[in-house]
Structure 1
């Protein structure tokens, strides 16, 4: 894997460390961190700071009923969730979102495929498969879009993104990502709002594809 050039911004790492990112973004950041030593070190620093702040926080008394509820939950039977390891190009957090299964690709046209891992009112996270040379329709954004490359690479108006690179697009960016030559580009894409497509056909198909 070539050197990673596009990283998680420090403020977003801090939000992730504090547990304040929406699920779709948290999956994407966790996947990038699993591939990127630089961001893994930075995340560790944020977690250490958070631990120090917690230790310095004054103790707050709780009611006896709340204390009883907490102890009751601690005594309840616990079934741990399965831990999913990396599988091929898919990091552990992606396999967790896939629940250990293989991607179930659904066509979007022109060879582009997707597998929606989760989607709700707070956003969505999906895998995208883009054949070499194929473009994603020109679009801008109503919110944030995080795109993490897992295989191959793509290029757009802002540069080239290879394996492990994370592109962060906001409402100020209008772009047309194109998969580079070589292996098909497989990405993990997370959004907190619907995209804004310029062309009519993608706009008409947008409710069907939930993107």
Structure 2
């Protein structure tokens, strides 16, 4: 994946919420995975972190325990920079996602959804759901809207919908105003990481019937 080919990025609101630590776990995973691929968003996230640090510097002071500084410095030395430039990786999944999956693509436990589409729900908190999606080249996801926010990060292949074309590294941010029918581009199967904080809104009967069982 070539980072400079990424054209669809995270919003400032999402990056600020990520920096503040207020996003659900599933959204944090999707944002962190995109940041590991996107130099632009990683730089913007670092800027928001700096703003947050400046606000803390300007806050009222309180008396600390005598060993607070030593304990803080020890934790800093033991941790890695949050937005460090990622090392080149082998395989498809960036490190944040690989940690959740427990490996790369061959470790995913896919479950069929229908029409060749498969999904794998990842373990996160119940505030939102993260899933991997496998969409065969040329196949479509049923037409749907949203009751909340959906983040869809392309890892392989590409899809097109009523908004634009989304290729590797691109992320689509969908809300209640968007109704779309994503279609995987011919040439390669499309694999995405998607996070939702509310059930989708399907128009067709069969997807609505299957929805509770598929947790979509």
- Normalising TM by the smaller chain, what interval? 0.7 to 0.9
Q: Which residue of 2 aligns with 1:105?
A: 110
Determine the structure 2 residue equivalent to 1:33. Answer: 35
Correspondence for 1:60 = 62
1:91 aligned to which of 89, 94, 101: 94
Residue 173 (structure 1) aligned with residue 178 (structure 2): yes
Structure 2 match to 1:197: 202
Structure-1 separation of matches of 2:137 and 2:11: 29
Tell me the number of residue pairs that the alignment of Structure 1 and Structure 2 aligns.
Answer: 198
Q: What's 2:139 paired with?
A: 134
- Confirm whether residue 151 of structure 1 aligns to residue 156 of structure 2: yes
Question: Post-superposition shift, 1:166?
Answer: 0.5
**Contact 1:87-1:95 within 8 A present in 2 as well:** no
Shift of residue 27, structure 1, vs aligned partner: 0.6
Normalising by structure 1, we get a TM-score of 0.86
Post-superposition offset of 1:56:
2.1
Q: Relative to 1, partners in 2 of residues 1:93 and 1:134: Cα closer, same or farther, differing over 3 Å?
A: same
What is the CA–CA distance in structure 2 between the aligned matches of 1:93 and 1:38, rounded to whole Å? 18
Cα distance in 2 for partners of 1:196, 1:25 equals: 19
**Distance across 2 between alignment mates of 1:121 and 1:200:** 26
Structure 2 CA distance for aligned equivalents of residues 119 and 59 of structure 1? 36
Aligned-partner SS, 1:42: helix
State the TM-score, normalized to the length of structure 2: 0.84
Residues 1:163 and 2:163 are matched in the alignment: no
CA shift, 1:18, in A, is 1.1
Q: Counterpart of 2:51?
A: 49
CA RMSD of aligned residues (A): 2.5
